[in-house]
Chain A
Amino acid sequence: AQSVTQPDIHITVSEGASLELRCNYSYGATPYLFWYVQSPGQGLQLLLKYFSGDTLVQGIKGFEAEFKRSQSSFNLRKPSVHWSDAAEYFCAVGGVGYGGSQGNLIFGKGTKLSVKP
């Protein structure tokens, strides 16, 4: 069955430090991978996506993610965290399925990021 695992429920980093949020997926076909960010009281905003091609993808707000098929991972990174990055981050997987799988993205349970001064 398809699934997404975000092993870290909560991470705290210092402002200016680097960040890596982990995401592992299980998907039977070619995965299409997404990272979303949710600020408190807000909806989800798409940070970046991977469909094919270069396995290192760049997103908005200075984020990047690397797809590693051999490790079934799609980790999100940022070289220098800003206080405004404090939010909850969700990894999601979908695919070019047919029938019932077409409209669905499967989300991880999220990682909450806190940033300390």
Chain B
Amino acid sequence: EAQVTQNPRYLITVTGKKLTVTCSQNMNHEYMSWYRQDPGLGLRQIYYSMNVEVTDKGDVPEGYKVSRKEKRNFPLILESPSPNQTSLYFCASTYRAPGQSLYGYTFGSGTRLTVV
């Protein structure tokens, strides 16, 4: 089954303790992206990657890191989490046909992160 898999689904951590949220897709998509979803603010892009070793900042990158060493994986790293990073996080992937727009993201099921 074509899917984007995120782990963990739920995570409670303490301020300052480094954490990684993993994301993997099995569709051979070039594009991958991380979004956070907050009440009243909708979805905002954190980082995205156009291919292996190619990443770029989205709208809210502060406090996050990403890497894309393999095409299928795109982990999100919080080096020193803070309470304002408490949110629902989504990983997504997509592809672009030649000369076309991005097809439309396939989203993972989400990771609910609480930083206390």
Contacts and interface: CB of A to CB of B under 8 A. Distances in A.
B42 A102 contact: no
Nearest to A4: B42
A45 interface: yes
A104 interface: yes
A51 interface: yes
B107 A43 contact: yes
A50 to B, nearest CB: 10
Interface size classification for chain B: 20 to 34
Interface string A30-45: 0010101000011111
A103 B49 contact: yes
A43 B40 CA distance: 17
A34 B100 contact: no
Specify the main secondary structure of chain B where it touches its partner: strand
A43 B48 contact: no
B40 A109 contact: yes
Interface stretch (A10-18, A61-69, A72-80, A89-97): A89-97
B101 A51 contact: yes
A42 B38 CA distance: 14
B3 to A, nearest CB: 10
Interface of B: 4, 31, 33, 35, 40-45, 48-50, 56-59, 90, 92, 96, 100-110
Interface of A: 32, 34, 36, 41-46, 49, 51, 90, 94-96, 100, 102-105, 107-110
